[in-house]
Amino acid sequence: MLIKKEARQRRARKTRTRIAEKKSVRLAVTRTNFHIYAQVISACGSKVLASASSAEADVRKDLANGGNKAAAVVVGKRIAEKAKSAGITRVAFDRSGNRYHGRVKALAEAAREHGLQF
Coil/strand/helix, residue 80: helix
Residues 24-75: tens digit of each pLDDT = 999 999 999 999 999 999 998 789 999 999 999 999 998 888 889 999 999 9
Q: Does residue 45 fall inside a structural domain?
A: yes
Q: Is residue 70 part of a domain?
A: yes
In a domain, 118, yes or no: no
Residue 38 is predicted with a pLDDT of 97
pLDDT for residue 66: 86
Chain segment 69-110, per-residue pLDDT in tens? 999 999 999 999 999 999 999 999 999 999 999 999 999 999
25 occurs within a structural domain: yes
DSSP state of 101: S
Count: domains in the chain: 1
Range of the domain at 73: 4-113
pTM: 0.90
Rounded CA-CA distance 48/39 in Å is 7
Residue 98 lies in a domain: yes
Return all residues near 38 (Cβ < 8 A) that are at least 6 apart. Answer: 27, 28, 29, 30, 51, 52, 53, 75, 76, 79, 107, 111
User: Which CATH number characterizes residue 105's domain?
Assistant: 3.30.420.100
